[in-house]
Amino acid sequence: MHTLDTMPELPEVETIRGQLAPLVEGRTLRRMEILDARWSRPLAPEELSDALEGRRIERLGRRGKYLVWSFEGDVHLAQHLRMTGAILFEPGGGRSGIDPPHTRVRLELGPARRGSRPDREAARRAVRLVIVDPRRFGTGELLLGSEALEAFFAARLGLEPLDEGFTGEHLRRLARGRTAPIKAFLLDQRRVAGVGNIYADEALFRARVHPLRPAGRLSTAQWSALRDAVMAALQAGIDARGATIDDFRDIDGVSGSFQDQFLVHRRAGEPCPRCGGEIVKMVVGGRGTYVCETCQPRPRRRGAAARSYL
């Protein structure tokens, strides 16, 4: 049931951020109960909750697949949902004491202090959130100060695909001399942040680039097409409120619909939407990969380096 192909990617995390931000920004974190010590490692649960309790949430942001909770006093929490993490808002209709299965963290937020909210009544009352995570891979990491936050992401994440610096030229420079397949390059979070297995397949198909092509051997035109294709695939995912793969849920426990719009991902044996040829499944970089080899011609010379990734 669960495979490595199920992790929420940028559109799924952005969907959660977009829904949650107006509900939590401006509220004070009154109480944080971390029920699973694995979530806060290397800090003990109380060390993390003590650092955050009593602070107002100034902003809920995102970097790559991380949700970034920024609290007053320049204190930040970098949260990663990993494979099965989800955040549920007011579980049990807001009645306290009712936890959904696999609850790992409970959060109680005070009333919102900022005005001009569409629902004033809701803003005036406290709210509850829970983080559920059946497989327990999700994490929350405390970062004290903007510099620590920047350093944390600088060590882990590359280009942010929805930012201005995401250009074909920038990608081409990052990939110069690299023999790894372009799909492995796209999946490497230290190169491009937020793209996972679904959106890599969709973007490569849109750009007509074969996933096995060595990253250092794409033409300038291919980089330009791929840059546009990554952005288009991610935006289509965000517009559909993400894809539903196994455990992904948004904060109301609802699932997105992007899986109905996949062009090639998980469509082995079906006709290519562009040429009608058959979509085939192969393994690239250890991941199930879907491709139309008519629209995405195989690289002519397959080097030993590319083969070693198969």
Helix (H, G, I), strand (E, B) or coil at 56: strand
Least distance to Zn ion from the beta carbon of 263, Å? 9
Q: According to the binding rule CB under 5 A, does residue 275 interact with Zn ion?
A: yes
State how far the Cα of 119 lies from the Cα of 269, in Å rounded to an integer: 48
Q: Which C-beta is closer to Zn ion: that of 277 or that of 286?
A: 277
| Residue 183: active-site member | no
Judge contact between 110 and 27, C-beta under 8 A: yes
Least distance to Zn ion from the beta carbon of 310, Å? 22
Q: According to the binding rule CB under 5 A, does residue 277 interact with Zn ion?
A: yes
Q: Which C-beta is closer to Zn ion: that of 56 or that of 274?
A: 274
| Residue 118: active-site member | no
Judge contact between 63 and 160, C-beta under 8 A: yes
Beta strands in 90-157 (DSSP E): 103-109, 127-132, 139-144
| Residue 300: active-site member | no
State how far the Cα of 222 lies from the Cα of 213, in Å rounded to an integer: 11
DSSP 222-254: HHHHHHHHHHHHHHHHHHTT----TT---TTS-
Least distance to Zn ion from the beta carbon of 49, Å? 52
Other CB atoms within a 10 A radius of the CB of residue 222 amount to: 19
Here the tokens at position 128 are: 């509850």
Q: According to the binding rule CB under 5 A, does residue 264 interact with Zn ion?
A: no
Q: Which C-beta is closer to Zn ion: that of 126 or that of 268?
A: 268
CA of 72: how far to CAs of 30, 109, 197, in Å? 13, 14, 35
Of 9, 12, 14, 202, catalytic = 9
Kindly give, in sequence order, each residue whose CB lies less than 8 Å from that of residue 283, ignoring residues fewer than 6 positions away: 289, 310
Q: According to the binding rule CB under 5 A, does residue 297 interact with Zn ion?
A: no
Least distance to Zn ion from the beta carbon of 204, Å? 12
- Judged by CB under 5 A, which of 17, 266, 274, 302 binds Zn ion? 274
Q: According to the binding rule CB under 5 A, does residue 294 interact with Zn ion?
A: yes
| Residue 287: active-site member | yes
Q: According to the binding rule CB under 5 A, does residue 292 interact with Zn ion?
A: yes
**Binding segment for Zn ion among 54-62, 85-93, 259-267, 269-277 (CB under 5 A)?**
269-277
Q: According to the binding rule CB under 5 A, does residue 208 interact with Zn ion?
A: no
Of 63, 65, 227, 267, catalytic = 65
Q: If we measure between CA atoms, which residue out of 21, 210, 38 comes closest to residue 117? A: 21
Q: According to the binding rule CB under 5 A, does residue 295 interact with Zn ion?
A: yes
Least distance to Zn ion from the beta carbon of 292, Å? 3
Q: Name the CA radius of gyration of the chain, rounded.
A: 21
Q: Which C-beta is closer to Zn ion: that of 52 or that of 233?
A: 233
Q: Which residues are at the interface with Zn ion (CB under 5 A)?
A: 272, 274-275, 277, 292, 294-295
Supply the residues annotated as catalytic. Answer: 8-9, 65, 287
